[in-house]
Structure 1
């Protein structure tokens, strides 16, 4: 049960932070955001704050921010529809009811002749064979079967904003995932500590080469085979070529320098045989070091994931080696069992992964939308929304197909 809660919270945080980035930048750009959703499918919980409906939906496989004008509106007023209007004291409309007989505050009932909620902000009704025209408030709500959606005048739509503002609104989602990863890694550094810059030993694995030679936590390795050791990278570099080879190690204990000969154990690492002592470096709790290490680790994670994407594109890595939702949940289960710190590191890695995946120049992803905005900036005019929408639809279908493939691979791997 604890692992299940950890998984739900982890995915909830990853998705919420991503979509929150979109929401904040879209609102700052003046775009009306109809809904902020975590998950897809039927609503479980919902509440409205200011202009936006916040929802938690049944399937926790993603989320979205529905910006006015970015996609088709969920409620449309068409000619011939029978509606009811609620009027303000000034005679303007602030509610349009699609089931007027179910509303208690309807002032006018009629048949829609014309409706313009974008430019003119007017509704024209036929009431008892009489044509009446009413002005719409800029925040008029359309109410249909309990669903409420606010109209969006043109200046509040996604397409009305400058290319730069739209780029920021789209890019803010992945950017917040990078920020989240950095914050989580800083927390890890503050709680657990960050590696020291020297060759000081933090822990010694039982029965390792270091343990058998009598090395202890707190010892500082200063040279190996006469080569000076200034940091942990130096230590690993020198040991890499010393697998199963007697090696002279000089260290400092209690301010006294000592030397011992040991044989580094051979292990396979990235397809190569390297030598190890069986020790980890010491940790220190330093806010400054936690911030710098958090930034460096976020960068390292990003470069490794970009490299992996490149291997996938060039065919060096097959689709069968990708992990889908089932595989990620299984790995998260294993990581959660290893402790809170490991879960934070894993969440940071997934957050960077989510950011980079969304930045890929594929239709339906943030990266694909950014490509269309780049074309618009170069051409000086937007691409036909219907054509762009069709491309994104095809891209989404292909992504769902890929998701099914990797999920099937996950299931097969699970039973194997």
Structure 2
């Protein structure tokens, strides 16, 4: 049960932070954000604050921010429409009732002759067939009620497409960026709690099995030289180990102020690139400091990004197959394993997932943030937007492809973990 709670919290946090990035930058640009949603499907919770409805939906597979103007506005008044109007003390329309007018008996009956709810913000028409033509101004935050649902109108200056290329780019890019920022914050807190790796070539721990324990290396040993070559930091130490699998190395060790000579033969293993490297089973010493934690958070976020990017490159070049991909089922399983190993492992895994979500969303694929950014960049280069219908078609095809890919990787996960 604890693992299930951990998974729900982690997935919810990753999606919340991602969508929060979109929301904050969209609002900063003046875009009307109708809904901020965690999950898809039927609503299980909703609350409206200011002009945005915040919802939690049934299927926890993502989220979205519904920005005005991303899809064609469905609010339209045509000549001959019989509507009801709510006016404020200044005679400005604050609410338009399109149907179900019997529920609003005290409002003004009106027949539309002409209306503009995006640019001019006015409604012209007649209160009765014999009456004069009347014109009313429309409040920029006027409500529009149809089929029992209430929407806020979106004047053209509140719509996504009316903003500058740079503002729209930031609103879309902010989602993946927030995932990288979240990873950095998690890793920073992790280092504050558990310590950041020391750059000194000092052994912090020794695995119960492996070349190090067989050779007699101990926690606290400071490596001063290997094969007579001075070692000044941990990176130099690990580089020598990794580049010499199955090669016996002569270590010069400072142990409690005494010089000790140890011979170690690194075992051979494959790294994340599929290359052979040496491994002796030791960990670095950890130290706790604010600046060291900041550096650890930044460096490790970059390291995770490089590892994921390398993996994507190997997938494209065919070095690894699609069978190695994991979907929601696989991620659920790995998150469960991380949760069982403790909070330290779970924090690092959450940071990795956050980086992964950010990078995947930046891929230049239709329906992803990266695909939308490509269209915005092309618009900036061309000086005019791409045909909205063509862009929508590309995103639709891309979304269908992603759903197909999701089905494939989910089936692979089921085979790996349950069959």
Provide the aligned C-alpha RMSD in A.
2.1
Secondary structure, counterpart of 1:250 in structure 2:
strand
Match of 1:11 in 2: 11
CA distance in 2, matches of 1:297, 1:6: 22
CA distance in 2, matches of 1:58, 1:45: 9
Q: Alpha-carbon deviation of 1:287?
A: 1.0
Secondary structure, counterpart of 2:96 in structure 1:
strand
Is the CA contact (8 Å cut-off) linking 2:206 and 2:281 kept in structure 1? Answer: yes
Q: Which runs of 5+ in 1 are unaligned?
A: none
Q: Alpha-carbon deviation of 1:332?
A: 0.8
Q: Which runs of 5+ in 2 are unaligned?
A: none
Pairing of 1:107-256 with structure 2 (within 5 A): 107-129=107-129, 130=131, 132-240=134-242, 242-256=244-258
Match of 1:308 in 2: 311
Q: Alpha-carbon deviation of 1:143?
A: 2.4
CA distance in 2, matches of 1:303, 1:242: 23
Is the CA contact (8 Å cut-off) linking 1:84 and 1:99 kept in structure 2? Answer: no
Q: Alpha-carbon deviation of 1:214?
A: 3.3
CA distance in 1, matches of 2:347, 2:187: 7
Pairing of 1:343-382 with structure 2 (within 5 A): 343-382=346-385
Secondary structure, counterpart of 1:251 in structure 2:
strand
Match among 401, 406, 417 for residue 403 of structure 1: 406
Secondary structure, counterpart of 1:31 in structure 2:
coil
CA distance in 2, matches of 1:132, 1:16: 47
Q: Alpha-carbon deviation of 1:283?
A: 0.5
CA distance in 2, matches of 1:328, 1:382: 38
CA distance in 1, matches of 2:139, 2:268: 75
Pairing of 1:22-37 with structure 2 (within 5 A): 22-37=22-37
Match of 1:2 in 2: 2
Is the CA contact (8 Å cut-off) linking 2:77 and 2:115 kept in structure 1? Answer: yes
CA distance in 1, matches of 2:376, 2:244: 54
Aligned residues: 415
Is the CA contact (8 Å cut-off) linking 1:83 and 1:99 kept in structure 2? Answer: no
Match of 1:102 in 2: 103
CA distance in 2, matches of 1:245, 1:398: 48
CA distance in 2, matches of 1:274, 1:370: 39
What's the TM-score, normalizing by structure 1?
0.93
Structure 1 residues 339 and 76: alpha-carbon distance in aligned structure 2, compared to 1, 3 A threshold: farther
**Larger displacement relative to structure 2 (180-189 or 275-284):** 275-284
Is the CA contact (8 Å cut-off) linking 1:182 and 1:348 kept in structure 2? Answer: yes
Pairing of 1:325-344 with structure 2 (within 5 A): 325-344=328-347
**Larger displacement relative to structure 2 (30-39 or 390-399):** 390-399
Match of 2:292 in 1: 289
Secondary structure, counterpart of 2:405 in structure 1:
helix
Secondary structure, counterpart of 2:174 in structure 1:
helix
**Larger displacement relative to structure 2 (403-412 or 273-282):** 273-282
Structure 1 residues 354 and 76: alpha-carbon distance in aligned structure 2, compared to 1, 3 A threshold: farther
Is the CA contact (8 Å cut-off) linking 1:243 and 1:275 kept in structure 2? Answer: yes
**Larger displacement relative to structure 2 (319-328 or 224-233):** 224-233
Secondary structure, counterpart of 2:208 in structure 1:
coil
Structure 1 residues 103 and 57: alpha-carbon distance in aligned structure 2, compared to 1, 3 A threshold: farther
**Larger displacement relative to structure 2 (52-61 or 231-240):** 231-240
Secondary structure, counterpart of 2:90 in structure 1:
coil
What's the TM-score, normalizing by structure 2?
0.92
Q: Alpha-carbon deviation of 1:226?
A: 1.8
